[in-house]
Amino acid sequence: MMNPLRELKLNQPGRIELLGAPSKSGVDGTVRQISREAILLELRDAEGAPEFQVGQRVTFKYWDVFGLHRGETEITRVSPRKPTELSVAPPDHVELTQKRKFFRVNVSVPVTLKRRAPSESPPLETHTEDLTPAGMRVTSNAPFEAGEVVDAILDFSASTGDATPVHAIARVVRAGKLVRDAQAASATATTGDLFTASVQFLDLTETEQSRISLLLFELQRHVSA
């Protein structure tokens, strides 16, 4: 089983709570450094929080695209000059709770769709409106039919630098004409009708689903950085 701590990234939100204390007494922060020996957190607001000391046992929590991770550890350093900065030892065991397997992210990722029938149909270059490890919603200038199967290629290279595209077979589960109000229609250079389609991935392994999750998290991290 994959160790969730391996997916800990810089600038992820984190939280420190004293063991045995009410959870509301904890302090939120941001992961600023990661090493084998320590995880450095910058606390957002230490006012009203307990005075942390080296050696105190705490629960370290952090969030990513998979959900909430938590593990018991101890404080290894408190900055004498910056009380909102402290380090904890990497937990020996991290538990994944509140698992979010099919979260939905509103994100624009280039995608190429190829109809399987008729086989001579040209590929359709479009983008996602939202994306999950289980499927996506796209808009296009060509209509789709619910139930048809397409080949999809998602390109994350421009957004995350990952040059390896994600290939998937997908089924259209909902399709229709995109309704736009007059103001939105006049504000875009797109002419003619637009169509929307929600598709479900059919052949993605759990590894590929996890890869999409990590790519989406990386994309969100770049946007928020």
Q: Is 139 helix (H, G, I), strand (E, B) or coil?
A: strand
Q: Are 201 and 151 in contact (CB under 8 A)?
A: no
**What is the per-residue pLDDT for 159?**
80
Backbone angles phi, psi at 128, to 5 degrees: -80, 150
Lowest mean pLDDT among 5-14, 31-40, 48-57: 5-14
In the chain, the percentage of residues whose pLDDT exceeds 70 is 77
162 burial level (CB within 10 Å; 0-12, 13-18, 19+): middle
Domains 4-97 and 110-224 share a fold: no
183-194 residue pLDDT tens: 444 444 445 788
Integer-rounded Cα Rg, in Å, for the chain is 22
What pLDDT is recorded for position 204?
79
Give per-residue burial for 69-101: e unless 16+ CB within 10 Å, then b.
bbbebebbebeeeeebbbbbbbbeebeeeeebe
CA 12-18-22 angle, to 5 degrees, is 100
By the 8 A CB rule, do 132 and 119 touch? no
Strand partners, 96: 69
- Spans of all domains in the chain: 4-97, 110-224
Identify the CATH homologous superfamily for domain 4-97.
Electron Transport, Fmn-binding Protein; Chain A (2.30.110.10)
Looking at residue 155, the DSSP 8-state letter turns out to be -
Could you tell me which of 133, 158, 135 has the C-alpha nearest to residue 211?
133
For residue 1, pLDDT over 50 is answered with no
Q: What is the mean pLDDT of the chain?
A: 80
More confident residue, 35 or 45: 35
Question: Strand, helix or coil at 71?
Answer: strand
pLDDT digits (tens, 9 = 90+) for 125-184: 999 999 988 899 999 888 888 899 999 999 988 887 888 899 999 999 989 887 654 444
- Does 3.40.50.300 match the CATH number of domain 110-224? no
pLDDT digits (tens, 9 = 90+) for 50-85: 788 999 999 998 876 566 788 999 999 999 888 789
